[in-house]
């Protein structure tokens, strides 16, 4: 590879904050909100013009119950507006949830309300927001991060901060700061919504949505529809992910899994966007032509960007395995994903190695691969954001770094905020 040497330049410092939250997905939202409510001066930077991360950019609108920590408040707010509903006809038995299978209780949300409510909640708590700001660099001073460099229509600018939460989903800040991370390639999917589906007619024909993938597989075997661009019909896809996704006649569709590409390489991402969009059209045309109930269905919206499940994970203070997450009451437990489920997550999973004033939350935290499938569910990302935000605020209050924070203090504050840690 050849290189160019960029000339040295002066970068203007345009803002300072106690806590800088990088990324405005559900984890970043929760971190910023909970830290600001504890009195920290918080600035949140986000590259898109709206918040919500994969929920809003990639139409990942289905979730296990929002029943622990900050999820409860968000769930109440959305339910009041009828924008958080139980997914019907999934083919899963809600009684399985009693045995700890939270995916039997999937709900759907309206992403437009998330785009509207998240910034309102943050601004009400005193968080400063900067949208359309892409973080491209980190300024380090010894073992700590002094600030970040962002690129926007205003050029290259710096923001300084005492404490940083990396909620970019891709561990961008940890990687830029030189903390150990590892790259992963998980299948990508373009989620999309269909409108004007005759749901009663489709369910009468299919029995439940889980059967749609079998109808499609048979059509593929007969050569009636070609899924031949690297998309694998596996793990429940392609298929309908949420019936009557909040509104009558609306379906959230999982268009298939594209494997082997990197979520942090723009060339791979370009290929992924083109391939998954092609499949969205093929799948929709097939449904229109072949499946009763879909005759008039039309694409209401597709993802702003292809859904990237994982790209880069922190290699942090600890990387718990699934068996530990399900079986161990960690002395430093700071998150319990679901009220009725025995899973727990230790504080060490949020702590990078070698950077003093950084916490990492959301889907890029540190854990073993076998646990990450569960830990990436969005209510889990939210409570890891809550734990990181509260930890950062307490660090600022007590003048210590995240590694030195008294975890007992953090646990007490989280419990006072209504988080069941199962201690």
Ligand X SMILES: Cc1cc2nc3c(=O)[nH]c(=O)nc-3n(C[C@H](O)[C@H](O)[C@H](O)COP(=O)(O)OP(=O)(O)OC[C@H]3O[C@@H](n4cnc5c(N)ncnc54)[C@H](O)[C@@H]3O)c2cc1C
Shortest Cβ distance from residue 393 to ligand X (Å)? 18
Shortest Cβ distance from residue 166 to ligand X (Å)? 9
Shortest Cβ distance from residue 117 to ligand X (Å)? 15
Shortest Cβ distance from residue 222 to ligand X (Å)? 27
**Nearer Cβ to ligand X (27/245):** 27
Cβ neighbours around 168 below 10 Å, total: 30
Hey, is 251 helix, strand or coil?
A: strand
**Nearer Cβ to ligand X (259/404):** 259
> Could you list the residues that contact ligand X (CB under 6 A)?
23-28, 45-48, 53-55, 58, 60, 62-63, 134-135, 167-170, 172, 189, 191, 307-309, 362-363, 376-378, 381
Shortest Cβ distance from residue 420 to ligand X (Å)? 18
**Nearer Cβ to ligand X (178/196):** 178
Cα–Cα nearest to 26, from 9, 2, 46: 46
**Nearer Cβ to ligand X (292/373):** 373
**Nearer Cβ to ligand X (31/329):** 31
**Nearer Cβ to ligand X (26/209):** 26
Cα–Cα nearest to 386, from 40, 50, 35: 35
- Chain center to CA of 73: 18
Shortest Cβ distance from residue 408 to ligand X (Å)? 26
Can you say whether residue 385 is alpha, beta or left, with left for phi > 0 and alpha for psi between -120 and 50 degrees? alpha
Cα–Cα nearest to 415, from 324, 335, 330, 347: 335
**Nearer Cβ to ligand X (197/377):** 377
Rounded to whole angstroms, the maximal C-alpha distance in the chain is 67
In sequence order, the 6+-apart residues with CB closer than 8 A to the CB of 112 are none
**Nearer Cβ to ligand X (108/197):** 108
**Token couple for 132:** 């359309």
In sequence order, the 6+-apart residues with CB closer than 8 A to the CB of 400 are none
Cβ neighbours around 170 below 10 Å, total: 21
Shortest Cβ distance from residue 99 to ligand X (Å)? 19
Shortest Cβ distance from residue 191 to ligand X (Å)? 5
Query: Distance between CA 416 and CA 405 in Å, rounded?
Result: 17
**Nearer Cβ to ligand X (225/245):** 245
**Nearer Cβ to ligand X (37/363):** 363
Shortest Cβ distance from residue 278 to ligand X (Å)? 17
Pairing status of strand 84-86 against strand 42-45: unpaired
Query: Distance between CA 46 and CA 299 in Å, rounded?
Result: 27
**Nearer Cβ to ligand X (262/290):** 262
Query: Distance between CA 250 and CA 240 in Å, rounded?
Result: 10
Query: Distance between CA 86 and CA 245 in Å, rounded?
Result: 9
Give the Cα-Cα-Cα angle 12, 14, 16 (nearest 5 degrees): 125
Tell me the CB-side half-sphere exposure of residue 245, using CA atoms within 13 A: 27
Distances (CA, A) of 37 to 34, 122, 389: 5, 9, 10
Tell me the CB-side half-sphere exposure of residue 74, using CA atoms within 13 A: 34
Count of residues for the chain?
A: 423
Cβ neighbours around 238 below 10 Å, total: 28
Shortest Cβ distance from residue 189 to ligand X (Å)? 4
Shortest Cβ distance from residue 383 to ligand X (Å)? 11
């Amino acid at each position: 590879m050849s290189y160019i040497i960029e000339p040295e330049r002066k970068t203007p410092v345009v803002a300072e904050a106690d806590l800088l939250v990088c990324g405005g997905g559900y984890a970043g939202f929760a971190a910023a909100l909970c830290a600001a409510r504890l009195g920290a001066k918080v600035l949140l930077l986000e590259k898109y013009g709206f918040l919500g991360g994969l929920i809003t950019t990639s139409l990942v609108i289905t979730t296990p119950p929002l029943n622990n920590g900050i999820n409860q408040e968000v769930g109440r707010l959305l339910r009041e507006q009828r924008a958080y509903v139980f997914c019907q006809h999934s083919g899963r038995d809600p009684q399985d949830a009693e045995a700890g299978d939270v995916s039997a209780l999937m709900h759907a949300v309206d992403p437009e309300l998330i785009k509207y409510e998240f910034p309102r909640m943050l601004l009400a708590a005193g968080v400063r927001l900067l949208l359309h700001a892409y973080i491209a660099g980190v300024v380090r001073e010894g073992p700590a991060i002094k600030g970040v460099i962002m690129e926007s229509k205003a050029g290259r600018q710096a923001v300084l901060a005492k404490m940083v939460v990396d909620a970019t989903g891709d561990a961008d800040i940890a990687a830029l700061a030189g903390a150990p991370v590892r790259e992963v390639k998980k299948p990508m999917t373009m989620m999309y919504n269909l409108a004007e589906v005759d749901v009663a007619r489709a369910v009468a024909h299919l029995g439940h949505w889980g059967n749609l993938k079998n109808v499609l597989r048979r059509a593929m075997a007969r050569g009636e529809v070609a899924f031949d661009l690297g998309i694998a019909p596996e793990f429940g896809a392609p298929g309908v992910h949420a019936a009557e996704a909040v509104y009558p006649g609306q379906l959230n569709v999982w268009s298939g899994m594209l494997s082997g590409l990197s979520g942090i390489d723009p060339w791979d991402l370009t290929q992924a966007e083109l391939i998954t969009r092609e499949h969205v059209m093929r799948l929709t045309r097939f449904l229109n032509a072949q499946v009763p109930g879909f005759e008039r269905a039309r694409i209401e919206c597709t993802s702003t960007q292809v859904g990237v499940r994982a790209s880069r994970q922190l290699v942090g203070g600890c990387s718990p395995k699934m068996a530990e997450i399900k079986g161990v009451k960690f002395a430093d437990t700071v998150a319990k994903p679901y009220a009725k489920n025995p899973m727990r997550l230790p504080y060490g999973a949020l702590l990078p190695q070698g950077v003093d004033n950084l916490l990492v939350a959301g889907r890029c935290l540190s854990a073993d691969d076998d646990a990450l499938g569960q830990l990436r569910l969005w209510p889990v990302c939210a409570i890891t954001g809550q734990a990181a935000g509260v930890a950062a605020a307490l660090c600022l209050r007590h003048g210590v770094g995240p590694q030195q924070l008294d975890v007992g203090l953090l646990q007490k504050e989280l419990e006072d905020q209504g988080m069941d840690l199962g201690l």
